[in-house]
Amino acid sequence: MAGAPDHFREFVAIDWSGARGSRHAGIAVAHCTAGDAAPQLIPPPDRHWSRRDVLDWVRARADAPMLIGFDFSFSAPFVARGAHLPGETCSAQASELWAHVDAHSPDADLGAAQFIEERRGRHFYLGAADGRKADFLHWRCCEVAHDGSTKPSTVFDAIGAAQVAKASFAGMRLLHRLHGAVPIWPFDAAPRAGACVVEIYTAIAARDAGGRKGRSKLRDGVTLDRALAALGTRPHAPLAHYTDHATDAILTAAWLRRRAQDPALWQPGGLTAAIAQSEGWTFGIA
């Protein structure tokens, strides 16, 4: 498709969680429409969202003109080593990885913690007993393209507060269930109508809003409104509680609205057809 899709009228950012259990305080869903009104949090159907709730919510909106961003890695590295999980998977298609993870994950609510733990030391680093951490540090092409520093955490590092492994592999289970129902860019072409799911990195939105590198978290209403204003968005409705999850989702939904028609983000220079199918790409990395 030439240029950028121009039919989106709704914009959603989802701060995701790979935590154990069935309901997760770490999931936040923010929504806004075209214009300049601040995004609002979508209340969960129960006290907290489950991953299956989010899956159902997105599937029900497949025909809506909605751009939906998920904050997790949509695939494991492939290009660097010629396999997503060397010795275990061989297909170059990320969709086959999603199916493999789903078929071998017994965790509740689309979780993947057991999938990771059963492969520690082979694919995943969970501590010193697994060997040298450096041996597990592999990145996707878009993660290196971000700024050349491989700053985003690799999906094979499953230890520490910054790890993205559990959220990403849980997310792959969700993508497996969305596949064929909602286009998932860039594995699928950007649609001319209806919804589209993209991978987001909330730190990119924070940087575009004027945040300093390494200081992307917004923990109060004044700071959030300052960042929203930088994206041409009016002040938000005050929240009962300010969490990183809520503010990340609100700010990134506003950022998606601002950047959704930027052709450079839909046609990044480093994205080839092979990378699109095997590794995907983070929306926002040109």
Q: Which among 68, 69, 64 is positioned nearest to 7, based on CA atoms?
A: 64
User: What are the residues whose beta carbons fall under 8 Å from the beta carbon of 272, sequence distance 6 or more?
Assistant: none
Q: What is the mean pLDDT of the chain?
A: 94
Residue 213: per-residue pLDDT? 66
pLDDT tens digits for range 60-86: 999 999 999 999 999 999 999 999 999
- Give me the residue spans of the domains in the chain: 1-286
- Averaged pLDDT, 169-189: 98
- Rounded CA-CA distance 171/167 in Å is 6
Residue 263: which H helix or E strand, with range? helix 263-266
pLDDT band at 16 (very low <50, low <70, confident <90, very high): very high
- Rounded CA-CA distance 76/154 in Å is 8
User: What are the residues whose beta carbons fall under 8 Å from the beta carbon of 211, sequence distance 6 or more?
Assistant: 203, 218, 227
pLDDT tens digits for range 141-167: 999 865 544 456 899 999 987 789 999
Residue 29: which H helix or E strand, with range? strand 28-33
Residue reference for tokens 């969700």: 174
Residue 1: per-residue pLDDT? 45
Q: 219, 245 in Cβ contact below 8 A?
A: no
pTM: 0.95
Percent of the chain residues past pLDDT 90, beyond the cut? 89
- Phi then psi for 101, rounded to 5 degrees? -60, -45
